Amino acid sequence: MKTIFRNFRLIDSTQDTVGTVLVTDCGTIGAVITDTQAKLPDVYRIFDGGGRLVLSPAFVDMHTHLRDPGFPEKETLESAALAAAAGGFGTLVCMANTKPVIDNLALAQLLKQRSDVLGIIDLYPAMALTHALEGQELSGITESLPDTIRLLSEDGKDIYDDALFLAALQAASRADKMVSCHCEAGGESAAVARAITLGKKAGCRIHIAHVSTQAAVATIRREKSKPDARLSCEISPHHCALTQKDARKLGAETFGLVAPPLRTEDDRRAIKEGLCDGTINVIATDHAPHTSSDKEAGSPGFTGLETAFAVCNTVLVRENHISPQKLSDSMSAEPARLLGFSDRGRLASGLYADLVVLDPEQQRTVNPALFYSRGKNTPFAGRTWYGVVLLTMHRGRIVYES
């Protein structure tokens, strides 16, 4: 179905201008028009942004925990896809810590096929580095892994054995896949340095997941300034917005528990500075849905897909740390680029019509009862943020409307 978004504030990594976007019936962006006098074609469906509402490329999340297969009480592929659409996301990379663990291509392909049938988002499973995430022997990393696998990760766990970690990174390098590293063992900064050192030795692209400390930001900044750096990293919305004070209020060992933990105000400032100066590439949710009883029992993580934009828009854009374009870059263009997608992440003719309509000025109070995600474990319940997702389009089809 042909659609036209007329008179929107078009924001992506390269522009912030009022204009019009045409969507073709094949689900791609047909044209981006910034000439307000341009004659527009007859179309079936028209949305008018009143010159105020924002049209951006849908978000790309490099770090989601789907819990499917294996933990339907926490989340299913279906509930996660709906939550993603409600949060403005078009593409997710999901982590391998399911039951069974996604440690081979067949399981990854099955999950992707199930997601493709739903047609709500585009899913790319990350494959584990070791068999069953046990840290004992390598998983099914082969040189011929197809593009279904964009990322390899042992997320949630560090591989303690240096020789095995190096072997995993060498296998990833031969397969030309990036590795996302959860770095906590021995302290975040030391673990980051270790991943970078072994990554260099293996000739492997390293992506540091959920950077949360001042020291780790400094280490990454130093490493990225070197000419041969093949290094990227992400931060999470909750580390941008919250500190250990919030964790204590929520229950440091229960509802405020996340890995890596919420840190100090200095750490929070450092990751925001890292985002501003380009040290940090990407904002990723680390969406980690849990049941209430699992949180009571100390399961780490927060549900995050449905609050990511509002939280980042409020604490990063409205508090003048970054521009709206930079936020779009961190949530869409840059993760798309790192994952090797040239077909999404910006507003440009020929790309997929994976789009999101946003009202950055509208305030809304977080009510987890209204989440599509089965995980109601948000640290933001009852808090009010600026920014509402009004509509999400996936491949030219509306998959969410508020």
Contacts to Zn ion by CB under 5 A: 155, 182, 209
Give burial (CB, 10 Å; 0-12/13-18/19+) of 109.
middle
CB of 154 to Zn ion, least distance (A): 9
- Cis ω before 260 (30° cut-off from 0): yes
For 257, the token pair is 């528990």
Residue 395 CB, shortest distance to Zn ion, in Å, is 29
Query: What whole-number distance in Å separates Cα of residue 89 and Cα of residue 58?
Result: 5
**Can you tell me which residue has the tokens 């920014």?**
387
Distance CA 195, CA 197 (A): 6
Nearer to Zn ion, 182 or 205 (CB): 182
For Zn ion, the closer of residues 52 and 99 by Cβ is 99
Nearest residue to Zn ion, by Cβ distance, number only: 182
36 vs 361: CA distance, rounded Å: 23
DSSP label at residue 245: H
CB of 86 to Zn ion, least distance (A): 23
- b vs e for 25-41, b when ≥16 Cβ sit within 10 Å of the residue's Cβ? eebbbbbbbeeeeeeee
Element (H, E) at 360: strand 355-365
* Shortest CB 155 distance to Zn ion, Å: 4
CA dist., res. 177 & res. 276, Å (int): 27
Helix locations, 46-180, DSSP H: 77-86, 105-118, 162-174
CB of 152 to Zn ion, least distance (A): 14
Those residues with Cβ within 8 angstroms of residue 311's Cβ, 6 or more apart along the chain or in another chain: 237, 238, 240, 241, 380, 385
Q: Which is nearer to Zn ion, 182 or 395 (CB)?
A: 182
Name the residue nearer to Zn ion (CB basis): 160 or 203.
Answer: 160
Candidates 12, 122, 286, 354; catalytic one: 286
Of 219 and 236, which has the nearer Cβ to Zn ion?
236
- Identify any residues that bridge with 352 across adjacent strands, giving them in sequence order: 28
Contact 128, 157 (CB under 8 A): no
Which of residues 182 and 194 has its CB atom nearest to Zn ion in the complex?
182
CA distance 64 to 80: 9
Q: Is 286 a catalytic residue?
A: yes
Rounded to the nearest 10 degrees, the angle between the axes of helix 105-118 and helix 77-86 is 60
Residues 6+ apart with CB under 8 A from 200: 228, 230
In whole angstroms, how close is the CB of 260 to Zn ion at the nearest point?
7
- CB of 95: closest distance to Zn ion in angstroms? 7
Question: Among candidates 212, 378, 387, which has minimal Cα distance to 304?
Answer: 378
HSE of 163 in the Cβ direction (CA atoms, 13 Å)?
Answer: 2
Q: Closer to Zn ion by CB, 208 or 231: give it.
A: 208
- Active centre residues (catalytic): 286
